[in-house]
């Protein structure tokens, strides 16, 4: 029997939004949150003033800091009010008490195991299928995940993330295409994005794995630095992979002309949750452009990866 997860999640919202004080307060705040929009070419960037995110955007994720803190995704450390909807007996879906979206879920593995995408992209696609109206996202262990020691996805209301619509109409330079989908790269939205749109979970997995195989992996890292968005639209699964070279931009900090920003999947998707009021007020189109250029893979590296993928799929024809 297939489970109607979206119905279970709707019930979870109703319960948590009436019984859990932190959730009532923080989602109440978000309902009236101050935003402004900056146009970056054909892409809209929504800036959201969200002080509750300070902990997340300034979190220490070095080994010693992680070791010293209780893991907030492990059952034993979670607030007693926090409820769970189980997914396939392997992940727990929960309301995120520090939201960026009007509906924001954390989807974490049951066991305390490191943040890795290897072998989990099909989970991500199935989750996206089971959660219509949501975009599921993954932050690499060094690309914005605030709990890199505990495997987790998140999910948020899809209509609040601008890039999901923009990708449908953007120019895609294709590596491979057939009657089941397309796979290519989009470079016109101010940050490079590898894009898959397919009716087939198997094909989506193959294409994603071929990308993962050719993305550069830095010394000391266990996987390429990436942020991933995955959602379901009219029968097609869409996967957007943002290749990264840095966790934090050079302008990270609290001094003059600096910003407390650690871009992650949601920021790559065009929604920037900004914790400090002065950052929210001061950030310009120029700053946004520079931050994307600074933390994303360089145009030359994107071209090298694209050439490898084109050659690989051309040789298979």
Of the candidate residues 92, 142, 150, 191, the single one contacting Zn ion (CB under 5 A): 150
Could you tell me which stretch among 54-62, 150-158, 213-221, 234-242 binds Zn ion (CB under 5 A)?
Answer: 150-158
Nearest distance in Å: CB 58, Zn ion: 20
What is the rounded distance in angstroms from the CA atom of residue 58 to the CA atom of residue 61?
9
Could you tell me which stretch among 64-72, 88-96, 137-145, 240-248 binds Zn ion (CB under 5 A)?
Answer: 64-72
| DSSP single-letter state for residue 92 | E
Could you tell me which stretch among 23-31, 65-73, 125-133, 221-229 binds Zn ion (CB under 5 A)?
Answer: 65-73
What is the rounded distance in angstroms from the CA atom of residue 191 to the CA atom of residue 261?
16
Span between the terminal Cα atoms of the chain, in Å: 40
Nearest distance in Å: CB 82, Zn ion: 14
Does 74 contact Zn ion by CB under 5 A?
yes
Could you tell me which stretch among 69-77, 159-167, 228-236, 252-260 binds Zn ion (CB under 5 A)?
Answer: 69-77
Nearest distance in Å: CB 146, Zn ion: 12
Helices 21-31 and 5-19, interaxial angle, to 10°?
100
Kindly state the helix (H) or strand (E) to which residue 10 belongs, with its residue range: helix 5-19
Asked if 115 and 151 touch (Cβ cutoff 8 Å), the reply is yes
Residues contacting Zn ion: total by CB under 5 A: 5
Which residues between 207 and 246 bind Zn ion (CB under 5 A)?
none
Q: How many CA atoms lie within 13 A of 37 on its CB side?
A: 8
Nearest distance in Å: CB 65, Zn ion: 14
Chain residue whose CB lies nearest Zn ion: 71
176: phi then psi, degrees, rounded to nearest 5: -155, 150
Q: How many CA atoms lie within 13 A of 285 on its CB side?
A: 9
Asked if 172 and 166 touch (Cβ cutoff 8 Å), the reply is no
Of the candidate residues 73, 215, 283, 302, the single one contacting Zn ion (CB under 5 A): 73
Nearest distance in Å: CB 61, Zn ion: 14
Nearer to Zn ion, 55 or 218 (CB): 55
Nearest distance in Å: CB 31, Zn ion: 30
Nearer to Zn ion, 150 or 191 (CB): 150
Does 112 contact Zn ion by CB under 5 A?
yes
Could you tell me which stretch among 53-61, 72-80, 187-195, 282-290 binds Zn ion (CB under 5 A)?
Answer: 72-80
What is the rounded distance in angstroms from the CA atom of residue 12 to the CA atom of residue 15?
5
Asked if 41 and 160 touch (Cβ cutoff 8 Å), the reply is no
| Alpha-carbon 199 to chain mean position | 21
Does 152 contact Zn ion by CB under 5 A?
no
Residues in the chain: 317
Could you tell me which stretch among 56-64, 88-96, 108-116, 164-172 binds Zn ion (CB under 5 A)?
Answer: 108-116
Nearest distance in Å: CB 112, Zn ion: 4
**Helical ranges in 58-174 per DSSP H:** 63-68, 121-130, 163-169
Coil, strand or helix at 239: strand
Residues lying near Zn ion in the complex (CB under 5 A) are found at 71, 73-74, 112, 150
């Amino acid at each position: 029997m297939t489970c109607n997860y979206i119905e279970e999640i709707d019930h979870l919202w109703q319960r948590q939004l009436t019984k859990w004080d932190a959730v009532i307060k923080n989602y109440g705040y978000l309902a009236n949150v101050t935003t402004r929009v900056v146009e970056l070419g054909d892409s809209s960037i929504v800036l959201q003033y969200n002080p509750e995110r300070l902990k997340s955007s300034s979190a220490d994720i070095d080994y010693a800091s992680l070791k010293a803190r209780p893991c907030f995704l492990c059952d034993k450390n979670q607030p007693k009010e926090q409820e769970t909807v189980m997914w396939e007996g392997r992940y727990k879906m929960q309301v995120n008490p520090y939201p960026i979206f009007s509906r924001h879920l954390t989807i974490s593995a049951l066991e305390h195991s490191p943040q890795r995408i290897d072998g989990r992209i099909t989970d991500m696609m199935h989750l996206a299928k089971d959660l219509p109206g949501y975009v599921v996202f993954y932050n690499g262990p060094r690309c914005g995940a605030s709990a890199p020691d505990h495997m987790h996805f998140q999910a948020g209301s899809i209509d609040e993330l601008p890039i999901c619509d923009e990708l449908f109409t953007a120019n895609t330079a294709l590596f491979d295409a057939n009657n089941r989908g397309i796979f290519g790269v989009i470079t016109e939205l101010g940050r490079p994005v590898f894009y898959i749109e397919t009716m087939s979970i198997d094909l989506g997995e193959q294409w994603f794995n071929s990308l993962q195989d050719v993305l550069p992996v830095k010394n000391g890292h266990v996987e390429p630095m990436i942020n991933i968005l995955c959602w379901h639209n009219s029968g097609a699964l869409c996967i957007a992979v943002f290749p990264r070279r840095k966790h934090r931009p050079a302008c990270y900090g609290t001094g003059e002309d600096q910003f407390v920003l650690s871009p992650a999947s949601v920021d790559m998707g065009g929604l920037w949750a900004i914790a400090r009021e002065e950052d929210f007020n001061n950030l310009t189109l120029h700053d946004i452009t520079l931050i994307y250029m600074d933390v994303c893979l360089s145009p030359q590296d994107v071209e090298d990866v694209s050439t490898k993928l084109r050659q690989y799929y051309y040789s298979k024809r």
